[in-house]
Amino acid sequence: MSAGHFASWLAARSLPHVIVNVHRGDPVPRSAAPYAGLCSLGGNMSVNDPLPWVAEEVALMRDALERGVPIIGHCLGGQLLARALGAAVTRNPCKEMGWLPVDVVDAGLVDEWLGTGSLGELFHWHGDAFELPDGARRLLSSPLSPNQAYVVERRGVEHLGMQFHIEMTPELVAAWAGEPGAAAEVDEERARTGGPGVQSPAEMCRDLEPRTAAMKTLAWRLYDRWARGLKT
Residues in the chain: 232
What is the tens place of the pLDDT at every residue in 175-189? Answer: 999 999 999 999 999
pLDDT at 77: 96
- pLDDT classification of 232: cutoffs 50, 70, 90: confident
Mean pLDDT, the chain, whole residue set: 95
For the cut 70, the answer to whether the pLDDT of residue 19 exceeds it is: yes
Q: 165, 200, 173, 178: which is closest to 76 by C-alpha? A: 165
CA distances from 45 to 1, 9, 59 (A): 12, 26, 18
Distance CA 159, CA 85 (A): 10
Q: Tell me the backbone φ, ψ of residue 40, rounded to 5 degrees.
A: -115, 130
Cβ neighbours around 162 below 10 Å, total: 26
pLDDT attached to residue 154:
96
- Residue 117: pLDDT over 80: no
Q: What is the model's pLDDT at position 23?
A: 84
Picking from 203, 207, 187, the residue whose alpha carbon sits closest to that of residue 195 is 187
pLDDT digits (tens, 9 = 90+) for 39-65: 999 988 899 999 999 999 999 999 999
3-state secondary structure of 218: helix
Question: Rounded to the nearest 5°, which phi and psi values hold at 199?
Answer: -125, 155
Instruction: Identify the band that residue 116 occupies on the pLDDT scale cut at 50, 70 and 90.
Output: confident
What is the three-class DSSP state of 60?
helix
How far is the CA of 71 from the CAs of 96, 137, 154, 216, in angstroms? Answer: 24, 15, 11, 19
Mean pLDDT of 104-124: 91
